[in-house]
Structure 1
Amino acid sequence: MDNERFHLTLWTGDRPVMHGWWGQLPTAEKKYLRWVGERGSRPGARITLTDEADGGRVLKSWPDDGR
């Protein structure tokens, strides 16, 4: 198992300020929802969950950018 397959990033403006990596999608999705609730109100916050095994494909993005 790839323990760094699912990558979560908190951006403020155009720079990443926090990262997390998980090997299982259900865990990464729970963390994503937690980050949105805890950190989503920061000015300029954007949170992305990507699948690094799929070329960095964005699975979820907050605020929703239509993906």
Structure 2
Amino acid sequence: MSSDRYRVTATSAGRPAITGWWDREDVARGKFRDWVGRYGGLPGARVTLCDEEAGVTLTEWPEEA
């Protein structure tokens, strides 16, 4: 049974552009990297990787200052 624990979200100008869920962290991190490349040029782009089970953000782009 898949838990879909890891969520990657890309937003543009504060609005969700795309969201995906994966049960393996390594796959989700790969999608995160791909989505930074694909959606990073959108106005006000932000990409986040969250561990929904632990309730934490694992990484985000661009990084908070």
TM-score if structure 1 supplies the norm length?
Answer: 0.87
**Aligned residue identity for 1:31:** K
Question: 2 CA distance for matches of 1:20 and 1:13?
Answer: 19
Aligned residues: 65
Q: Mind listing any 5+ residue stretches in structure 1 that lack a counterpart? A: none
- Runs of 4+ in structure 1 over 2 Å off: none
Residue number in structure 1 paired with 2:26: 26
**Aligned residue identity for 2:59:** K
Superposed CA RMSD: 1.3
Per-residue CA deviation, residues 4-44 of structure 1 (Å, 9 max, x unaligned), is 10000011122212100000000000000000111111111
Question: 2 CA distance for matches of 1:54 and 1:48?
Answer: 15
Question: 2 CA distance for matches of 1:15 and 1:65?
Answer: 18
